[in-house]
Amino acid sequence: MNFRMNLMLPLFFLIAGLCAYIFIFFQPKEDFHSINVTGANWGNLDALIEKQEKKQLDVDLKGKTVAVFFGYLACPDFCPNHLNKMVLVKNLLPEKIRDQFAVIFISVDPERDKDLNLKKFVRSFDKNFDGFVPDKTHLSVLKDEFKLVINKSSKNEFGNYLVDHYTYTYLYDKNKSLRLLIPFEMSIDQIVKDIKGVNSG
């Protein structure tokens, strides 16, 4: 019996020590509902800003909390629903954060979408929302930088098609650092809480 106890005691302290180490050094620093990707070496916000040939973005993103998502104007569900959700999210943010919150819509359908039409569409939800249509070369850069999955369906008899695309929203802090990936199915209250959390640091 004593022999067994002599074996079990060091094992107990080893397990207890390992658990304490994990708890102290690996517990998350923030409690987010979204996927915390702080420190990621991809999703560089400057890939949107600096590589535009025509500087299509009208809003200055410097010092702002930025929500970026990808879609297209003929999208039947996700894109309009998401823009509507971002309006509700923005309206629930504290005024100080709300005034420095930018929503950017990037087209994944340069074959059909045009800057003027896209801006008109997003601003029908909120006059300060912005976005642009990258050319095919820029879109290729964005696909690599943002780990995008974009699949165009075959054209139907009328020449129309759908585009399957990534439905996460990329959330950046005021220093242009990618912090969170927000799943489409997250609730408005959860998104608001996460944006507040990003701004509390």
| pLDDT at residue 95, rounded to an integer | 95
Inside any domain, residue 22 = no
Inside any domain, residue 44 = yes
Of 60 and 174, which is predicted with more confidence?
A: 174
Backbone torsion region of residue 176, taken as left when φ is above 0, otherwise alpha when ψ lies between -120 and 50, otherwise beta: left
CATH assignment of the domain containing 134: 3.40.30.10
- Structural domain range at position 122: 35-199
Query: Into how many domains does the chain fold?
Result: 1
Global pTM value: 0.81
Inside any domain, residue 187 = yes
| pLDDT at residue 22, rounded to an integer | 37
Q: Tokens standing for 55?
A: 């500087």
